[in-house]
Amino acid sequence: MIFGTQTKGFIKISIDGTTINPSENISAEHIAYLPQHSFLPKNIKVRDLIPIYFSEEKKQDAIFYDSLVAKLTAKKVGELSLGQVRYLEVLLVGNLEHPFLILDEPFSMIEPLYKIEISKLLNKLKAEKGILITDHYYEDVLEITTQNLIIKDGIASKIDGIPDLRKLEYLS
């Protein structure tokens, strides 16, 4: 609904007091989006992928010289593990100029090492960007978030921890 691609229901978006119409391509200026499924082309080498997203050399270097990505630059995206791909995707999206990020399932189906690294990256990014995460891996989410909501039957409820998840029947 935020991107205007789902029209069922109603949504009101306000950024810094200015109302934004979702159908006016909100992602172009305001929100970068990480989809649940990988969006990177499989047949391109990591070193050739980075300049597609960033023309500025300083931004490219931030990705190229990341300690985890530096080891992968000669490999094709299709040769990487799910965790490596997801980390690279979060790093790419997180370094875009958008002040807000929407991350769909950033922790899903990846190795613990990359969950830890993605958590570190998101903790760093949240100091400068607003981040909205949707993920079933609630423990990973609760470790890094500053505010949590569950939407059930169209009603948003604030979550302070696992007892609230149980109360709202998200957990048994």
Query: Could you read off the pLDDT of 48-66 as tens digits, one per residue?
Result: 999 999 999 999 999 999 9
Query: Could you read off the pLDDT of 73-89 as tens digits, one per residue?
Result: 999 999 999 999 999 99
Give residue 29's pLDDT band: very low, low, confident or very high (50, 70, 90): confident
Rounded CA-CA distance 53/107 in Å is 22
Superfamily assignment of 22-126 in CATH? P-loop containing nucleotide triphosphate hydrolases (3.40.50.300)
Contact yes or no for 94/102 (Cβ under 8 A): no
Per DSSP, the chain holds a count of helices (H) and strands (E) of 6, 7
Span 12-35, average pLDDT = 74
Over the chain, what is the mean pLDDT?
A: 88
Task: Decide if pLDDT at 25 tops 60.
Answer: no
DSSP secondary structure, 110-144, as one string: --HHHHHHHHHHHHHHTTTSEEEEE-S-HHHHHHH
Domain ranges of the chain: 22-126, 137-172
Give residue 30's pLDDT band: very low, low, confident or very high (50, 70, 90): confident
